[in-house]
Structure 1
Amino acid sequence: MEVILEALNVSFEYADGTKALKDVSVKIEKGKKIAVLGPNGAGKTTLFLHFNGILRPKSGKVLYKGRELSYNRKEVIKLRKNVGIVFQNPDVQLFFATVYQEISFGPMNLGYEEKVVKKKVEEVMEKLHISYLKDKPTHFLSYGQKKIVSIADILVMEPEVIILDEPTAYLDAEHTEELIKLLDSLKEEGKTIVVSTHDVDFAYLWADYIYVMKDGKIIKEGTPYEIFTGDSKGERLKKPLILEVYEILKDKNIIHKEEVPRNVEELKKAIREN
């Protein structure tokens, strides 16, 4: 197991006295898809801002590739290149007039030659199917388009870890499905993906491992099955719809297969093979 990011007994308090993190320990394995579940105010965003070096712990440590962050300027710049955050609200991330200018800012700021920047931006836009938005003003984009451009901002920097704060918030079913496909493709490329979410259905079908936060603490962690069947310590959560349907069908002897489905296709297969 190679741990790429780690919070070790991290506590953090804001200037107004809000204790946002309380002795939080989290390990992010390289190449994994990690979901962090929890209500508003649980501390998810604050934790993410520590992983990117934006915030510094009041106590505890943040480690990148096994090395504790020292928070000098050079190290923080390197960290933010390799650990990119896509914020929940894309309007706080988009600053430039056009989509091309927006996506090109990061690599330009790192000093790449213009032709290299152009190549990188065009490759990312093509990958995300947004080349047609190249010259469109960012303030004319739809919410879903802004989300994708925000992701492009990060991908063009070629980070090892991509952190997304509530990526499915306010997205319709179609855009959510497209986002899941994108995240899966990034994982196949070897990226480490970390997301925060309220959506138990998304977390269950997508994540390799889940952390559950409440009141600034980690109250539960484990595989999706462990989290939602009560096989790990902590509070029980609302069950994902797939799991609820599976258990109903199993109780009625419509399904006999013991392997628990993670998505609709696996549920259909279990029914057909009964």
Structure 2
Amino acid sequence: MTSAIRVRDLSYTYPDGTVALENISFEIEKGESVALVGPNGAGKSTLLLHLNGILHSSGSRGAIEVLGEAVDPKKVHEMPKKIGIVFQNPDDMLFMPMLADDVAFGPINLGVERDEVERRIKDSLEMVGLAGYETRVPHHLSGGEKKRAALATVLSMEPLILALDEPTANLDPKSRSELIEILKRLKDEGKTLLIITHDINAIPELADRVIVLNNTVIADGTTREIFSDTEMLVAAGLEVPVIMQLFEVLQAFGYPCDVLPLSIESAVRNLTRTIENGDGHIHLHIHKHTHREIGYARSKYQHHADVNHSEETT
């Protein structure tokens, strides 16, 4: 079966000599939802721009295939039908006087007939919860609405693959939750997703697989495999989902949990099962190893906090 994305030995050096990517190799199958994570400056956005041919020059080495065809910089205009990219800043994608014009821009430039364009405007806005916003001025929208509007401008081109750069960045909790639900729906519908994100707590809901990048591929595995490798995450300057940290603390107090839950949903199922098996109660206690285990968890996650604080202040 043809892969959605295949990258082989991709390297890229910026004109100033900065090495952004070094021998990157991975494949993403059709229908997969993959999170791409790594510290700032790891090359995530650089990689994204290679996938549609925007950043493909003498500084690049290696091979990239999208849906079985090599990415050709001379055919960049054809790529939006295969892979749609939603950039981190929605203002970079919203430039028309009315939202309907922004959503129509891509299909029109792909040569889509006007009646079909109108259908795509309607369907795309409905998909992101902005039905009836056709005549709204994009720059008057809220931050969350802009993020969803930018997504609609890409969905209207009906790409088979969707790549998103920090989709939940700078969103309030309500807007973040709304966008996550939209992405979950696209995932459930079989859309191939590649999500660049620092939002570690959203990953278990959105991705079945995680690639850790720091100029080269550090790790590639299921969401559980990646988040279970705490030492690797610390070394890469990444966090563990808060729900996993909580249940590790509960384990120190005797909570019976062989496999740490990755998400709120799995945590609720775990707690419900434990309560039902425990006559309606959860039994916690302090045993001889509790303080040692709490101390270990505290030092481990304090290391996370120290690494992240150090990155933010440099």
Fold match by TM threshold 0.5: yes
Please name the residue that 1:238 is paired with.
239
Please name the residue that 1:267 is paired with.
267
Q: Is the contact made by 2:230 and 2:240 (CA closer than 8 Å) also made in structure 1?
A: no
List alignment gaps of at least 5 residues for structure 1: none
2:68 is the counterpart of 1:66: yes
Instruction: Indicate the percent of aligned positions where both proteins have the same amino acid.
Output: 37
Q: For residues 232 and 154 of structure 1, what CA distance do their matches in structure 2 show? A: 37
Q: Is the contact made by 2:144 and 2:176 (CA closer than 8 Å) also made in structure 1?
A: no
Please name the residue that 1:218 is paired with.
217
CA-to-partner distance for each residue in 1:205-231, whole Å, 9 max, x for gaps?
A: 4311001112x1211221111112118
Q: Is the contact made by 2:54 and 2:73 (CA closer than 8 Å) also made in structure 1?
A: no
Question: What is the TM-score of this pair, normalised by structure 2?
Answer: 0.81
SS of the residue 1:53 aligns to: coil
SS of the residue 1:122 aligns to: helix
Q: Is the contact made by 1:10 and 1:21 (CA closer than 8 Å) also made in structure 2?
A: yes
CA-to-partner distance for each residue in 1:140-185, whole Å, 9 max, x for gaps?
A: 1121111111000010111110000000100111111111111111
Aligned AA for 2:41?
A: G
Q: Which has the higher contact order (CA 8 A, sep 6+)?
A: 1
Aligned AA for 1:63?
A: E
Range 20-29 or range 99-108, more displaced: 20-29
Q: Is the contact made by 2:243 and 2:261 (CA closer than 8 Å) also made in structure 1?
A: yes
Shift of 1:5: 0.4
Aligned AA for 2:179?
A: L
Residues 153, 112 of structure 1: CA spacing in aligned structure 2 closer, same or farther, 3 A cutoff? same
2:5 is the counterpart of 1:35: no
Asked which structure has the greater CA Rg, the reply is 2
Aligned AA for 1:157?
A: M
Aligned AA for 2:245?
A: E
Shift of 1:35: 0.5
Please name the residue that 1:165 is paired with.
165
Q: For residues 67 and 131 of structure 1, what CA distance do their matches in structure 2 show? A: 35
Residues 172, 231 of structure 1: CA spacing in aligned structure 2 closer, same or farther, 3 A cutoff? closer
Q: Is the contact made by 1:220 and 1:232 (CA closer than 8 Å) also made in structure 2?
A: no
Q: For residues 231 and 190 of structure 2, what CA distance do their matches in structure 1 show? A: 28
Q: For residues 257 and 42 of structure 1, what CA distance do their matches in structure 2 show? A: 34
Residues 2, 111 of structure 1: CA spacing in aligned structure 2 closer, same or farther, 3 A cutoff? closer
SS of the residue 2:7 aligns to: strand
SS of the residue 1:131 aligns to: coil
Please name the residue that 1:120 is paired with.
120
Question: What is the TM-score of this pair, normalised by structure 1?
Answer: 0.92
Aligned AA for 1:221?
A: D
Q: Is the contact made by 2:200 and 2:239 (CA closer than 8 Å) also made in structure 1?
A: yes
List alignment gaps of at least 5 residues for structure 2: 275-314
Q: For residues 92 and 120 of structure 1, what CA distance do their matches in structure 2 show? A: 21
Please name the residue that 1:139 is paired with.
139
Please name the residue that 2:290 is paired with.
none
Q: Is the contact made by 1:50 and 1:56 (CA closer than 8 Å) also made in structure 2?
A: yes
Please name the residue that 2:286 is paired with.
none
Query: Pairwise mapping of residues 140-155 of structure 1 onto structure 2 (< 5 A)?
Result: 140-155=140-155
2:250 is the counterpart of 1:249: yes
Shift of 1:117: 0.9
Please name the residue that 1:25 is paired with.
25
Please name the residue that 1:189 is paired with.
189
Aligned AA for 2:157?
A: M
Q: For residues 241 and 232 of structure 2, what CA distance do their matches in structure 1 show? A: 18
Aligned residues: 270
Shift of 1:97: 0.9
CA-to-partner distance for each residue in 1:71-101, whole Å, 9 max, x for gaps?
A: 333xx33322210000001111112111011
Range 230-239 or range 5-14, more displaced: 230-239
SS of the residue 1:260 aligns to: coil
Please name the residue that 2:156 is paired with.
156
Query: Pairwise mapping of residues 45-84 of structure 1 onto structure 2 (< 5 A)?
Result: 45-56=45-56, 58-73=60-75, 76-84=76-84
SS of the residue 1:198 aligns to: coil
